Structure 1
Amino acid sequence: MSGSSGLECQQALPRMEIFIPVIVVTANGDVPTSVRAKKAGAMEFLIKPFHDQERLDATNRGVSPHRARRKIEAVRKALR
């Protein structure tokens, strides 16, 4: 990521008006990093190794609210 950590990239997304679900995946997870990621808006924090089902479940939990929010935004835009 060319000089930036994943958490720095995550924190930059809202400043660029990019609102997507973020799942942090790390091999060196600790409580302070997990808290920092969650406070910055991460939907999930997975520590390697993890099972494929954990990744799929985290993805589904992250994408579902995002899809709902996009539908609401589309309806609002249509009403304007």
Structure 2
Amino acid sequence: MKELQDKMTDYKRFAFILLSLSVFLYIGSFLPMEGQTDERVLILTGGGFLLIGIALFFYSRAIAIQKKLNDSDTTND
């Protein structure tokens, strides 16, 4: 039970960190820089969206573990 709770917390932390990183990448794609090419903007934007997708995966895993914990709590009562 404690192990599942720790996993859920870790997954939520991973998701938050990845979302934060994706925001920085996305903002970096809009900042004006000398020599910034369309390819670089595409890489930054695509990397941001990829990180958001991975964060959503971790968050969905955390939700699944939360449901499992809630189900085990109701069966133990």
TM over 0.5: no
Larger radius of gyration: 2
Q: TM-score range by the shorter chain?
A: 0.3 to 0.5
TM-score with structure 1 length normalisation?
0.41
TM-score with structure 2 length normalisation?
0.42
Larger relative helix fraction: 2
Larger relative strand fraction: 1
